[in-house]
Amino acid sequence: MTTDPARPFGRVLTAMVTPFAEDGSIDLAGAQELAAHLVDRQAHDGLVVLGTTGEAPTLGDGEQSAVLEAVLDAVGDRAVVVAGVGTNDTAHTIDNARRAERLGAHGLLVVTPYYNKPPQAGLLRHFTSVADSTDLPVMLYDIPPRSVVPIEVETLVRAAEHPRIVAVKDAKGDFGALAWTLARTDLAYYCGEDMINLPMLASGAVGVVSVVGHLVGPRLAELIAAVESGDLAKAREVNESLLPVYTGIFRTQGVILAKAALREMGLPAGPVRPPLVDATPEQIAQLRTDLADGGISL
């Protein structure tokens, strides 16, 4: 499997949910079935597992290893599999990264350490320490709504000097910072917030790490292709058709309604783990309406 250096993790990736059985245990067969569905029927060239939408904070290390290994066995020969390894503990993150490399992951997603509120010097040391610990390419995950601390442009410029820090998943939505980072580095940007896929792609992002990609992978591929070809009228048309889907999935925490939609479609998902709670009947009814407005029938 080869990748384009300009988009080291592909174009369309989904932050994949972790399917659970009804008793809350990991559904490994379901994870494999869902991964294959996304790659073979939803136009994905990559998957991010064990991220926010994968409920990684509620998975033990052994469970994370089992999920990653299952997904790699299912699709690792035909899709880029990126392992979310980030925590707010640098030593633990390094352990996760090394374990992911041993299992065969193709890349690492490393989120800004949350809760600790480290200064920028601490972020840089964290990211470079993790990147030093394996030979895998690293995608930084900049999501201040969850981690509080944004990765500042100067920190990204310094981080980009590391040969294995090659990409950013941006859920910050600061287009000035994006422009300056793209002007000063070779980092590949991936949009990590579905509602701003179009403006971020138009600003120079090379792909998306999506939640709605569970449902609309081919349309995201169409959106990216339209932007790349310079057909912004087509890109706006595709994006407008997706707005009800973006809104519908994020009326509450994205994984809750993504799992609800997958369950309604007969795909593996199962419940969420506490402290999250499953969608209510009223939320599912609203989701049906939203997705229908976006061209998806549950």
Q: Is the four-CA dihedral 229, 9, 200, 291 of positive or negative sign?
A: positive
pLDDT on residue 2: 57
71-110: b (≥16 Cβ within 10 Å) or e:
bbebbbeebbbbbbbbbbebeebbebbebbbebebbbbbb
CATH T-level topology, domain 12-231:
TIM Barrel (3.20.20)
| Omega cis (within 30) before 5 | no
What is the mean pLDDT for each group of 10 consecutive residues in the chain (298 residues)? 80 98 97 98 97 96 98 98 97 98 98 96 98 98 94 98 98 96 98 98 98 98 98 98 98 97 97 98 98 94
**Contact 88/11 with Cβ under 8 angstroms?**
no
pLDDT on residue 187: 98
Rg of the chain over all Cα atoms, to the nearest angstrom: 18
209 annotated among ligand-binding-site residues: yes
296 token code pair:
């998806």
**Distance, CA of 12 to CA of 213 (rounded, Å):** 8
Q: Catalytic positions, please?
A: 141, 169
231 three-state secondary structure? coil
138 annotated among ligand-binding-site residues: no
**Distance, CA of 152 to CA of 138 (rounded, Å):** 17
* Per-domain residue ranges of the chain: 12-231
